[in-house]
Copies of this chain bind each other. A is one copy, B any other.
Amino acid sequence: MDADQLRAALSTVVAIPVTPYGGDGWVDTQAYARLLERLVDGGIGVVTPNGNTSEFYALTHAEARLATELTVKTVGSRAKVLVGVGHDVPTAVDAALHASEMGAELIMIHQPVHPHVSLAGWIDYHAAIANAVPEIGVVLYVRSARIGGAELRELGARCPNVVGIKYAVPDPVRFAGTVADAGADRFTWIAGLAEPYAPSAWSAGARGFTSGLANVAPEISLRMLAALRANDFPAAMKVWDLIRPFEQLRAASENANNVSIVKEALAQLGLCRRDVRAPSTVPSPEDAAAVTDILKRWALR
């Protein structure tokens, strides 16, 4: 593992592919491969099977493994594969070892699902998983405001292979403080709430951002990346404005349709079925019509 090389590779759009389902309700591997090809052909450098946009928590462990294998095989050396792992520690370790064996260079550890988290236990949880795969890089997915720079610094000291932080607390001041306290250069900081939060996070040290939008329009995500890399915030905010109605549909009702709207767009483009699994549902006809309008505005249909 070359930590510097992985940190550099994470300074980009980190796309989370959706997991398409067939008419039988199970993972449609052909459609999945097609969507991955489209991401990589579109210039995306990091893909994250088994992220939240992949409906990780609606997949069985066997399906998550299938997604890992399929992604590594399809993407090859054209992009880095960042495999989402989680659940209890033994299960997460198994999934991490599997990702490493399959040839993935990075894993992303989902936040612990467990409701009783101590700060020391949070560190132990991530260290147990990261230390099981010292040969590959690790990205943390921070969704709790309780986790600050001190915890991240300690974890970084215990696990040299932790190279990135995907930060998903919607508070730019907390983010800036965490970057300052944990070390701006120790990790690649990835805005974990996608394009809407990317400019504010970039202003405080983020050098990458996650994206579900990239499934639909990788070019738009990369346009925002280019603007941010050039420190051209007015240009970044122009992209922000362009995608705002799409991201608002995804965020409504506490993110109920976060994935459904992306799949609706992909279905309208003929790329996969719109089906999502419970506890998500397909969008309302009104929301689907709004997606049509957006795709037209983006000149995608």
Contact = CB atoms under 8 A, between A and B. Distances in A.
Interface size of A as a range:
35 or more
A248 interface: no
Most B Cβ at <10 Å: residue of A60, A114, A146:
A114
B128 A278 contact: yes
Given A121-B280, A122-B279, A281-B124, A114 B57 contact: yes
The quantity of this chain's copies bound in the complex is 2
Contact of A57 (B90, B113, B256): B113
Most B Cβ at <10 Å: residue of A87, A277, A279:
A279
Interface string A52-94: 1001011111000000000000000000000000011111000
A253 interface: yes
A193 to B, nearest CB: 12
Contacts of A87: 57, 87
Contacts of A281: 118, 120-121, 124
A255 B52 contact: no
Most B Cβ at <10 Å: residue of A115, A119, A256:
A115
A278 B109 CA distance: 14
A116 interface: yes
Nearest to A144: B254
A233 interface: no
A55 B87 CA distance: 12
A278 B124 contact: yes
A197 interface: no
Contacts of A254: 117, 146
A21 to B, nearest CB: 12
A118 B253 contact: yes
Contacts of A88: 57-60, 277
